[in-house]
Chains A and B, each alone.
Chain A
Amino acid sequence: MEAHSATASATRAGIRLPWVGAGLGRGTVVLYLSLIVLLPLAALVSQSFEGGLSTFWTQVTSPQAVRSLELTVVASLIVVAINAVFGTVIAWILVRDDFPGKAAVNAVIDLPFALPTIVASLTLLALYGHESPVGIDIGLTRTAVVVALLFVTLPFVVRAVQPLLIEMDREMEEAAASLGASGFTVFRRIIFPNLLPGLAAGVALAFARALGEFGSVLIFAGGLPDTQVSSVFIRTQIESGNDTGAAAVSVVLLVASLLLLAVIGLIQRWGNRHERSAAAGLTVMPMSGEDFTEKGGEDGDR
């Protein structure tokens, strides 16, 4: 009996990393992540505080740095608000509506993920710049910053809301409608609350992306003092040899990224409690909402 259960527990966990023990595998993963990701980021933080806290503060609060941070945050907020609305509308027509070419439309949603950002910037300038064939000239303005960010962040909300709409139980809506609720009331009271975890996750991901975006803004909005987002500002500081200033503003962006990742983690845990993974259908930034420490399969080191 004892021998039997020993065999069972040896195989129950399925495959482990072949040819190496979990310990060696773990060591490799930790080393890889440390060398590629953590060590460079540590160097960045260290550089930003090279002149002490006061230098860091002076750099972050220099007028041009503040201006770029303000523009970045305000533009990002506008962008996620617009894409929250349009993203939900697009997800809705992709799930609930039917029209010729729907599959193609669904496929093209991910274009901003696949198209290099510098190419996006170039074509947006050709389309909505001073040589615009449609007579809209917003090139090298703050509006261009917003449009460029709208382009690159478009897929996030669509892809976060879409799976929730697909899975949504329509009986509730029908029940509400049969009880006399108007279309708007059904949306507000039944559909919207169900979409909220996905919408929130999509918005947070889009916001993180917008805060750090560089390539798509570069050519279209230019690097004028008035249209300089933080990433472009950082670039100019590197070019003028102000490593500490570049690093200081970078640390501000880095902290914002970390906070947003934490928020996304919380949203997903909340979404999972609603029995659905908030970002299950995200194609490019799917985060696992799993808590690996609690249910990661069998322990390999017993």
Chain B
Amino acid sequence: MGTASGTRSRWGLRTLGLGYLALLLLAPLVMIFYKTFENGLAPPLEAITSADGLHALQLSLLMVAIAVPLNTIFGVGCALLLVRHKWKGNSVIDAVINLPFAISPVVIGLSLFLLYGTKGWLGPTLSEAGIEILFSVPGMVIASVFVSLPFVVRETVPVLQEIGTEQEQAASTLGANAWQTFWRVTLPAIRWGVAYGVVLTTARVLGEFGAVSIVSGSRSGETETLPLFVQKQFDNFNTAGAYGASVLLAVLALTTLLAMNVLKRKEDA
């Protein structure tokens, strides 16, 4: 089909598609870096290394350190149950796992706000026991776990279905117990799928804004993660601060993209 009109329409589609991507994706990405370093390295660096900036970074990393392992263990276990153990309730579990994908982060934040608030079902009881969930770190962790819950399950289920059970059968025939089979046979076979889910979970936790902003109260130096820090700095007309933190998050996002591509290739190989 090397006709002139074929070539023309090919160039037309190419220009259309790439032009759209340039305007919508590439230009904003370039803009973050341009705006950040417009006045040199000092202003953004100063913002990130300020006490509040560093605290926000630490808190973001803490969210990752708690939410990611929790959702990874849950995700792998849940995927094993869904794929390998037939049960009437599996389709319900499957449906509930998809909920965080479809629900607005603000709705998630509000739900937690109402449950753990002073008039909520759990708030007063926990408060009496000296446990504060709302406007403190535990509430932010719960919000992070909620929004990032589906990724590991969703990435692990198809891989588990694909690998089948032959190797595991062989292992158990040779006398391996379930625990040994899981570590030596199953986990190595699904590792790239799980890793891919972990990367997505991490990216989501690092970037979460809506849900966390509602349950955290956004107190600088106390309950402020990096995305909340970005908004606070913007509201305070400290654009250097906002961009400094943004560039950090953008670099993490680009690293995520890189990791996704490497892992996808390993998974397909």
Is the Cβ of A18 less than 8 Å from the Cβ of B110?
A: no
Cα distance, A258 to B211, chains bound together (Å) = 18
Known A-B contacts A29-B78, A118-B231, A119-B230; the reply to A247 vs B102 at CB < 8 A is no
Cα distance, A114 to B101, chains bound together (Å) = 14
Q: Which residues of chain B from 104 to 134 have any CB-CB distance to chain A below 8 Å in the complex?
A: 104-108, 110-115, 117, 120-122
Is the Cβ of A38 less than 8 Å from the Cβ of B114?
A: no
Check B90 for interface membership: any CB of A closer than 8 A: yes
Q: How far is the CB of A197 from chain B (nearest CB, A)?
A: 17
Residues of B within 8 A of A107 (CB): 257-258, 260-261
Check B227 for interface membership: any CB of A closer than 8 A: yes
Known A-B contacts A86-B20, A116-B253, A208-B101; the reply to A36 vs B120 at CB < 8 A is no
Residue of B95, B106, B182 near A235 (CB, 8 A) is: B106
> How extensive is the interface on chain B, given as a class?
35 or more
Binds B, one of A53-61, A137-145, A188-196, A212-220: A212-220
Check A33 for interface membership: any CB of B closer than 8 A: yes
Residues of B within 8 A of A246 (CB): 110
Q: Which residues of chain A from 203 to 253 have any CB-CB distance to chain B below 8 Å in the complex?
A: 205, 208-209, 211-215, 218-219, 230-232, 234-235, 238, 243, 246-247, 250, 253
- Which of A99, A113, A116 gathers the greatest number of chain B CB atoms within 10 Å? A116
Is the Cβ of B115 less than 8 Å from the Cβ of A43?
A: yes
Is the Cβ of A215 less than 8 Å from the Cβ of B253?
A: no
Q: How far is the CB of A287 from chain B (nearest CB, A)?
A: 6
Cα distance, A77 to B109, chains bound together (Å) = 25
A interface with B by C-beta (< 8 Å): 11-19, 22, 25-26, 28-30, 32-33, 36-41, 43-44, 46-47, 86, 89-90, 92-93, 97, 99, 105, 107-120, 122-124, 126-127, 134, 147, 150-151, 154, 177, 183, 205, 208-209, 211-215, 218-219, 230-232, 234-235, 238, 243, 246-247, 250, 253-254, 257-258, 260-261, 265, 280, 283-288, 290-293, 295-301
What are the 7 A-B residue pairs with the smallest beta carbon separation, nearest first? Answer: A14-B165, A212-B104, A116-B207, A40-B111, A292-B90, A14-B168, A214-B210
B interface with A by C-beta (< 8 Å): 1, 5-6, 9-10, 13-14, 16-18, 20-21, 24-29, 31-32, 35, 74, 77-78, 80-91, 93-108, 110-115, 117, 120-122, 142, 145-146, 149, 151, 154-155, 157-158, 161, 164-166, 168-169, 172-173, 177-179, 181-182, 185-186, 200, 203, 206-210, 214, 226-227, 230-231, 234, 242-243, 246, 249-250, 253-254, 256-258, 260-261, 264
